[in-house]
Structure 1
Amino acid sequence: MKYRFLLILLILNFIKVYSEDFTIEELLNLKNQGLISEEEFKVLKSELSNEISSVENLYDLNINSKLVSRTFKVYEKNNRYFFPLKEFFKYINFKNYTENNSEIKLYLGSSLKEVKINLKENDEVFQKNDEIYLQSNKFSEIFLNTLTINSDELLIRMYLSFDTPSEITQLLDISKDKLLRKSNEEDIIYSSERKLFDLGYARIQLGQVFDKSAGQKKYKDSWDGNLGYQGGLLYGEITADYDLKEKELNTVRLEYNDIWQGHNLDVENRRSGNNREWGIFFYKDRGYYETTGGQVIIRESVTLGSRVELIYMGTPIDIKDDDNGIVEFDSPLIRTDRTYTLKIYEPDGKIYEKEIKTVQDYNLQQKNQFEYKLALNENSQYNRYKTDVDVFYGVTNNFTVGFGYSRDIEDIQIGRDYTGNIKTETKYLNNAKIDLVYGGTYNAVSYIFNISGTKTLNSYNSYKEINSEEKSISLDERYSYKYLNQFNYLKWKLIYEHEEFGDFYEEKNRDRIDLKYDIFSNTDVGYKYEVKRYRYKGNDTSEQITIDTDYTWNKFLFSIGTSLDINDSESNEYRASAYYSGWERLTGRLENVWTKNGDEYESRISLYNNSFGGFVDFSTELAYSKQDKERVSFKFSVKIDNWLKLDTGLSDDGAQNHRIGIDKIVDLKNPTVKLNTMDNSRVKVITFIDSNNNDIYDIGEEIVPGVEVNIGDQIVVTNDIGEGMFYGIGNGIIYDMKVTIKKPSYTLGNNKIKIKSNFSSTVDAYIPIKPMLTLSGNVELDKGLNLDSDEKVEFYNDIIIELKDLDGNVVETAAPDNEGLFDISGLFPKEYYIEVTYIGSKYDLKTIREEIELHYSKNNSINTVLLRISNNNIAINTSEYKKNMARLRR
């Protein structure tokens, strides 16, 4: 005890005199050797901590439950811990950072989270010997989920808040394995075959209408009705609509969707007053277009009878029913450089989504990519056709050349008659267009340069009255050309546009500047400036400031926006809206718009749903309009079981409108089937044994009955001739087909069966069922080897048999048993390589590989092979040898 006391005094004296050289680690060693107790260790450690302002210790470092170092240098300064940054990076193999004299910039994990650390020495960071030391709290904030420091045992445990490079590599390896497995899966997609004629579907709509105007006591009743048809015709899909009340045929449209590289072809015959007009359109659908006033319109073709929700930031902001298979949205929330989702509810209960990105690219194409726009329209007023053609070709990935031609019908003023009235002549005018687009990215700046122009090619003279003078101007002077720049950098977007006009126009030129800054991801402020300069009068200038912000909270979307006209406050507009989607399938919205400094005000509140329990759909709306004599109106619409529809409209001035109607779909091939939409197809499935493994039904291949097939929520079981029929399979949607084979030893193999019908027809889906075969073999040893039973067993143990596919990948490995027999099961009827290797040392036998083909037989699923081995040769006999199969199974 006396010596122990002297030792402690000696240590205390040493601490006071040589505190810089004595460390906590040395104290820990004394404790571990039993020279000092735990209590004495704490006293001495406390004394040491008080005497030493900066101590360097070596800790055991444990990261994510793994010991990575026993020499992790940690500085303790004033009871605060500082960790070496670069040493930490070395242990986790982290290299995704850049460093300069002022800061170090990190990109953490697979999300590449950017973190900056200021290297100017302060309470949180200092540098020593080319190492950066970061205070533990700041270190934990940046890198860790949890941190435990045990200074008594010199142990640090930390769990990272990001993926380490090795973990990212492992994730990539897992993803690679998934992709490899997926690449081995074969997708067999059955789609509609274009037919000359395929009987389709009829849609019957009838309604009784009761109207009462403001101030009237009695209702006026009327009715409406339409008969629709959709089916296959001329290798496309025809849609027609007949007005039963007016006894007139409305638009008839023949559609060829995705006929070539994403382009669609439409041929239509439409009603125009008492006449009919033809139109042909060839185009690539972008999903939206922009009006001359700058309003972005989202337009989509959908199934007849569909309802479509427009979703922004996860919240529905509008809903519309289709109009003859078309929906259009023009909400003020639709702006450029935004992403929207169309959620399409078809009448049969199917739901799918389509993403729309309103990004302006000015028809920029990829290298060798074409985009065509063709429109040929009849004008019944003149009994002539007008044409509009545009072609865009990607010379490189950054440079696109566009050419266009239009042939318009116009009334040209040629002068005045003797009474002073203006005389006109109807002429065809030919116009040429050109577009040059160059775009790309440089140093994080995205840019687009666009030069375009149009010119009339005819030389007719046109009569004009300018400043009370009559002049004749040639149409040669009817041209314009435009130069446009668009730059995007971080949150900034700048568009500058300059356009010049020929002498034919009163307008001489114009300039436009559009500047936008995204303050946050969904809050932006913009400035628009445009000046138009005229030849015979002054200039028109417009300036506008726009502010738009959209914010989501819980199930709410709030939107506030304003358009401020700098030159005319009467044109200012203020908007405030709220949308709520928290009632299961119900969505509510409140929209308010103020114009003319608040003198005109309109408010609208609505509530709607989609497929509520699969039975009832409804929408209701209450609106107030100050500009319309402070009118209050109410609308309500409900659709029950997808065939009965009720509509009601009320106004506080006494006006009322009511309608009750039916909407019924009939499959003309099978009228007893209950359907809810015309835009669907029938699918006929045929299940067969693919005896030659080519995924194609060949004449003579065996039919498999009793196979259960699912498409969506429909289930059929193939009959005695291996056939089953599905009805009401929606067009334009890819369905995964689930196949359940109840017979043993049969499988789909690596195939995945899918259905996609692009137009109303019958899809024939031949489902290949793969028989599972077994390769049975026998190793026969030459009698000249003179082997006894034990030597034969030893020889069999030295034989390796590998079955490989034709790409050399090992399918299965087998070894003979004590009698020289082997089996490999789960094989398909196709060609393989069989490779036999002797791994012993007594004989000089070379590896042999031969190609074999496994065959399916209705009576036998076993293929046999015989291996003959002598003292210098291995021979493979793949012919059917006539030996008792029971002997092979002994």
Structure 2
Amino acid sequence: MMMKKKIIIFLLLFSMISFGEEFKGNYEEGYIEIDVNKKIKYSFFPIYMDYEMEEPYIGVMNLFALTMSRGMKIDREKKMIYGRMGERDYKFYYGDTKYITGEEDVYIRGTDLSRVFELKEYNWNTETYLMKIKTKFKTPYEIYLEQEKKLKELGAEGKEEIEEEDVYSQERKLFTPGVLRPRYTNYNLEEDEGTVSVRYDTHMLYGDFTTTGFIHPDAYLGYTALTYNEIIDEKSIIVGDVYMQTYEFLGSKRLTGLAVQEWNGVGDIEIGQTTIRGFAPFNSNVELYRNGSLYKFTRVGEDGSYIFENINIQNYNDIYTIKIYHFDGSIEIRQVSMMSGDKILKKGEVDYGLLIGTYREINGEEEGEKVDLEEKEVEGNIKIAYGLTNNLTIGAEYINDLTENREGQTIYNYPTELAGLNLYYTTGAVKYPTYFEFSEIYDIEYDTENRYNHIGKIRQRFGGNVLSLEGYMYSDFIAFLEGYENRYIVDWRGVINKHWGYNLKYDNLDKFGEVEEYGSTGIYRNKDNTTHELGVTYPFSEDYGKSRLYYNYSNSDIKIYDTSLNFILQINSDFQDFEDETDLKVALKTAENNKIKAGVFVKYNSENEYEAGLEVRYKVFNWLEVIGDLTHDDDETDYSVGVDVEKTIILEKPFTSNSNPSPSRSWMEGKVFMDDNNNDQFDEGEVLLEGVEVKVGRKKGVTGTDGVYFIDDISSYEVKDFEVNIETLDPMLEAANEKKYVKLYPATGGHMDIPVQQISVIMGNLEFRGAGVDGVKHFPIISQLYIQLKTLDGKTVMEQRVEPEGFYMLDKVLPGEYILEMDYRGEGRLNFEEKTKKLNVKLDKYGSYYEDYNFKVISYEKE
């Protein structure tokens, strides 16, 4: 019985095997649409169709021609196809496939293509006549496209792809009226007077000036700075408030003075933790996301700054995103890079930084008594680094400031003067890369027995796992500030799979002869904007600490109707004193809702102390928000109702309604009109067009009855696409503005009128050796033949493939003098009777058809 089953199964399999033979049934010529690797698309690809089975037979040589594979040949006796495809030699035996022998090609059944063409995927749709295939290799045509893209992006001297003449860019000015944003904030109308403040941004002295001034109840300046972002490549020159970032044991400090810094320096990174800081409008809500999940949130203070400290790094591939929620409901998103490799410079490259200033106290920013042990009128630091090789960088740094050290409620500022030598090395792009940095720092200020600080860090990557070693040996003064002389850290963290990861850490501190050792271990899971994080921190002795367990849960993918919600749960508990030392925090808050923001939180500890609260912020108008707070703890219940009123005023257009969430945003405006005399300028009597949509990036504006468009809330310094939506124009009209991009600066607007003209069509045919084109026979040639429309100086205006029957049509051609040119990119050489033709497309109020611009091929020479 078993033997019979085996025979039956064998016969079934045998009947399913397709033996190679030439197809003898009925078939006809036809055309299909083909898509190769989503990069090569052709609408009229010639095939033979077996209509009985509804299966196409594909010309292999035609497919090679479409992918620009050169030198492919057919050996009909041996049933071999061979040649060279890109950098690889290929030999295909088609004798075990179903095939049709053509005059100059072999047509192989589509389902058999994978046997000869190394396909990863084959898909044929009999209803749409669309074939999609994916190869296991990169085709020569794709390589060609990549090379063309690189040539456009980088010229001989690394020029950008976007040509300067295609970009509308504002001119820097000595002064502009700027943008004002007054604000009144009162969280408790029954008890408080509230705060009146104003933010002002403008162009000043050819730079960007911004300031926040507080008027009531006290008058003082908040964050204030004049910034120049484009004088020095990738650096900002800042006059005013700026953060000084230096060696991590000194932290960071805000000074008022002069600085030359990176455009976006926002983070200090250490083993296992980091700090992120930045500036945003006063009272903005700021959220920090790690790998898509909400991690922390805060509100911007009066000095215009926000800070997230002690961020636990899960692994060195973490993606951190800052979301700043502006008053009007718009969201500003910034991505923060945490990689340390940016300290490595290329060979011969120089990097530097400078900050000279003095500390300016902003009202109410410090808590507790402040004692300066020495007055310093000037503080700051200087950095310089040089790339000795592509893998080795040397640097030096000088710091002179007052360093904070808090003792109870008193902050002592100690005079500090240090000079450091830094060395950075990486093995580069190898299988298991190593990163190393070393700093030797000398204490100039204090003549103590030990004046040297030694810091060394090594980071070794093994696939998705990273081993880090850090060592700190401090001078007498820095040891006093930090509370220990020496510290050694061993850290191992990595990924288990796509969603799971882990970390292990050992920390050894020498506190002036008494050694304390700590350990931690943790595991995490990230998936679909949801994070679970579980870990334990523990001392190796009960003499100096207690073991604690932590669990953090975050879900940023909760939706109720049209509202997105963020949920955070944090538990921190002591093993030994679970009943006495356990903290629980729960928060649920709305996210990315322009009309209403609400949050619920609960805090509880095992000493039976708890607090619960509700905050609601409702946007009544785009300038008025009502705030409600309700809190309850062990003793009492408090509630308050307040308002937040804020409005952006463009001073040069005070009565124009705008939606700019911040004075630093820009706007664009202009007229759209029929340019009857082709002079690119609006003249009296020319028609202004209503209902035309204009786009700057993703922002849109529609012209009114006056033909004027106005687009606001445009980010500064970024080159944005500029276009007219052709669907809002008559089909025979085309916008004739030459600028395809715009680049705007903060707190100012650009102006560009858009002339609209009638368009024309150019058509023609190709004659092949005195006859018409055979779409099947001549496919390898026609598929690689392009018609180009160029300006007289050789710039390509438009380009398209010639259709299989030799016909072409170029539409939406604006008035002007052009050159028509045939460009053949296939194998061999095409000789034309006349390869280029000159024509003048004239201004016509109703558009014109330019026909019979035909080309003749007189010979074809194979290579």
TM-score, with structure 2 as normaliser: 0.63
CA deviations 1:201-223 (Å, max 9, x no partner) are: 33333244559xxxxxxx85443
For residue 558 of structure 2, the aligned residue among 582, 585, 590 is 582
CA deviations 1:273-312 (Å, max 9, x no partner) are: xxx9733333225665237796322334445665444333
The structural deviation recorded for 1:388 is 0.7
For residue 255 of structure 1, the aligned residue among 227, 230, 234 is 227
Question: What is the aligned-residue identity percentage?
Answer: 18
CA deviations 1:357-384 (Å, max 9, x no partner) are: 4233371234455443322221466361
Output the CA distance in 1 between the equivalents of 2:822 and 2:345. 55
Q: 8 Å contact 1:550–1:560 — kept in the other structure?
A: no
**SS of structure 2 residue aligned to 1:384:** coil
Output the CA distance in 1 between the equivalents of 2:822 and 2:502. 71
The structural deviation recorded for 1:261 is 3.3
**SS of structure 1 residue aligned to 2:389:** coil
Q: Which residue of 2 aligns with 1:402?
A: 395
Shift in alpha-carbon separation, 1:331–1:633, aligned structure 2, 3 A: farther
For 2:353, the aligned partner's letter is K
The structural deviation recorded for 1:445 is 0.9
Output the CA distance in 1 between the equivalents of 2:141 and 2:174. 50
Give 1:78-89 correspondences, 5 Å limit.
none
Shift in alpha-carbon separation, 1:699–1:237, aligned structure 2, 3 A: farther
The structural deviation recorded for 1:686 is 4.7
Q: Which residue of 1 aligns with 2:420?
A: 433
CA deviations 1:119-165 (Å, max 9, x no partner) are: xxxxxxxxxxxxxxxxxxxxxxxxxxxxxxxxxxxxx99xx995489
Q: 8 Å contact 2:269–2:338 — kept in the other structure?
A: no
Alignment of 1:678 with 2:687, yes or no, is: no
For residue 625 of structure 2, the aligned residue among 644, 647, 659 is 644
Output the CA distance in 2 between the equivalents of 1:760 and 1:659. 33
Alignment of 1:561 with 2:535, yes or no, is: yes
Output the CA distance in 2 between the equivalents of 1:56 and 1:199. 85
Output the CA distance in 1 between the equivalents of 2:786 and 2:614. 78
For 1:604, the aligned partner's letter is K
Q: Which residue of 2 aligns with 1:669?
A: 652
Q: Which residue of 2 aligns with 1:486?
A: 459
Q: 8 Å contact 1:406–1:430 — kept in the other structure?
A: yes
The structural deviation recorded for 1:516 is 3.0
Q: Which residue of 1 aligns with 2:441?
A: 454
The structural deviation recorded for 1:830 is 5.3
Output the CA distance in 1 between the equivalents of 2:236 and 2:146. 35
Shift in alpha-carbon separation, 1:704–1:328, aligned structure 2, 3 A: farther
Output the CA distance in 2 between the equivalents of 1:222 and 1:735. 43
Q: 8 Å contact 2:763–2:853 — kept in the other structure?
A: no
For residue 224 of structure 1, the aligned residue among 173, 179, 195 is 195
Q: Return 5+ residue gaps in structure 2 as ranges.
A: 24-63, 65-113, 123-132, 154-160, 244-253, 361-371, 405-411, 774-784, 824-830, 856-863
Output the CA distance in 1 between the equivalents of 2:587 and 2:786. 73
Shift in alpha-carbon separation, 1:808–1:263, aligned structure 2, 3 A: closer
The structural deviation recorded for 1:676 is 5.7
Q: Which residue of 1 aligns with 2:157?
A: none
Q: Which residue of 2 aligns with 1:119?
A: none
Output the CA distance in 2 between the equivalents of 1:648 and 1:813. 65
Output the CA distance in 1 between the equivalents of 2:204 and 2:487. 50
Q: 8 Å contact 1:478–1:505 — kept in the other structure?
A: no
Q: Which residue of 2 aligns with 1:96?
A: none
- Number of corresponding residues: 660
Q: 8 Å contact 2:120–2:136 — kept in the other structure?
A: no
For residue 724 of structure 1, the aligned residue among 685, 709, 714 is 709
Output the CA distance in 2 between the equivalents of 1:47 and 1:606. 64
The structural deviation recorded for 1:669 is 3.1
Q: Which residue of 2 aligns with 1:445?
A: 432
CA deviations 1:302-341 (Å, max 9, x no partner) are: 4566544433343333344444654433475554511233
The structural deviation recorded for 1:404 is 1.8
Q: 8 Å contact 1:296–1:335 — kept in the other structure?
A: no
For residue 273 of structure 2, the aligned residue among 278, 285, 295 is 295
The structural deviation recorded for 1:856 is 4.7
Output the CA distance in 2 between the equivalents of 1:677 and 1:559. 35
TM-score, with structure 1 as normaliser: 0.61
Output the CA distance in 2 between the equivalents of 1:825 and 1:719. 29
The structural deviation recorded for 1:496 is 2.4
**SS of structure 2 residue aligned to 1:400:** strand
Output the CA distance in 2 between the equivalents of 1:504 and 1:328. 27
Deviates more, 1:167-176 or 1:640-649: 167-176
**SS of structure 2 residue aligned to 1:46:** helix
Shift in alpha-carbon separation, 1:513–1:744, aligned structure 2, 3 A: closer
Output the CA distance in 2 between the equivalents of 1:751 and 1:397. 41
Q: Return 5+ residue gaps in structure 1 as ranges.
A: 1-42, 70-92, 94-155, 212-218, 412-423, 463-472, 779-793, 816-821, 838-844, 870-890
The structural deviation recorded for 1:522 is 3.3
Give 1:357-376 correspondences, 5 Å limit.
357-361=337-341, 363-376=343-356
The structural deviation recorded for 1:486 is 1.5
For 2:336, the aligned partner's letter is I
The structural deviation recorded for 1:226 is 1.9
CA deviations 1:54-95 (Å, max 9, x no partner) are: 9999776569xx9999xxxxxxxxxxxxxxxxxxxxxxx9xx
The structural deviation recorded for 1:761 is 0.8
Q: Which residue of 2 aligns with 1:85?
A: none
For 2:260, the aligned partner's letter is F
Output the CA distance in 2 between the equivalents of 1:352 and 1:559. 27
Output the CA distance in 1 between the equivalents of 2:5 and 2:730. 82
Q: 8 Å contact 1:746–1:769 — kept in the other structure?
A: yes
The structural deviation recorded for 1:630 is 1.6
Deviates more, 1:164-173 or 1:639-648: 164-173
Shift in alpha-carbon separation, 1:846–1:49, aligned structure 2, 3 A: closer
Name which one, 1 or 2, has greater alpha-carbon Rg.
1
Deviates more, 1:195-204 or 1:762-771: 762-771
**SS of structure 2 residue aligned to 1:444:** coil
For 1:481, the aligned partner's letter is H
CA deviations 1:420-456 (Å, max 9, x no partner) are: xxxx9998x7533222211125762110122222224
Q: 8 Å contact 1:494–1:513 — kept in the other structure?
A: yes
Output the CA distance in 1 between the equivalents of 2:204 and 2:683. 32
Shift in alpha-carbon separation, 1:626–1:442, aligned structure 2, 3 A: same
Shift in alpha-carbon separation, 1:326–1:49, aligned structure 2, 3 A: same
Q: 8 Å contact 1:402–1:436 — kept in the other structure?
A: yes
Q: Which residue of 1 aligns with 2:4?
A: 46
Q: 8 Å contact 1:578–1:590 — kept in the other structure?
A: yes
Q: 8 Å contact 1:208–1:660 — kept in the other structure?
A: yes
Output the CA distance in 2 between the equivalents of 1:269 and 1:48. 84
**SS of structure 1 residue aligned to 2:135:** helix
Give 1:351-750 correspondences, 5 Å limit.
351=331, 353-361=333-341, 363-379=343-359, 382=375, 384-408=377-401, 431-441=418-428, 444-456=431-443, 462=447, 473=448, 478-500=451-473, 510-520=487-497, 521-532=499-510, 538-552=513-527, 556-568=530-542, 570-580=545-555, 581-583=557-559, 584-595=563-574, 597=576, 598=578, 599-612=580-593, 614-626=594-606, 630-641=609-620, 642=622, 643-650=624-631, 651-654=633-636, 656=638, 658-667=640-649, 668-672=651-655, 673-675=657-659, 677-679=661-663, 680-687=665-672, 705-706=688-689, 707-711=692-696, 712=698, 714-717=700-703, 723-731=708-716, 736-740=721-725, 742-743=729-730, 745-748=732-735
Output the CA distance in 2 between the equivalents of 1:349 and 1:68. 68
CA deviations 1:717-770 (Å, max 9, x no partner) are: 1776x6533344454676554513535544358988444544111123455757
Output the CA distance in 2 between the equivalents of 1:678 and 1:630. 40
Shift in alpha-carbon separation, 1:190–1:618, aligned structure 2, 3 A: farther
The structural deviation recorded for 1:192 is 4.8
For 2:813, the aligned partner's letter is L
Output the CA distance in 1 between the equivalents of 2:687 and 2:231. 35
Output the CA distance in 2 between the equivalents of 1:675 and 1:48. 76
Give 1:170-181 correspondences, 5 Å limit.
none
Deviates more, 1:440-449 or 1:731-740: 731-740
Q: 8 Å contact 2:758–2:846 — kept in the other structure?
A: no
Shift in alpha-carbon separation, 1:62–1:763, aligned structure 2, 3 A: farther
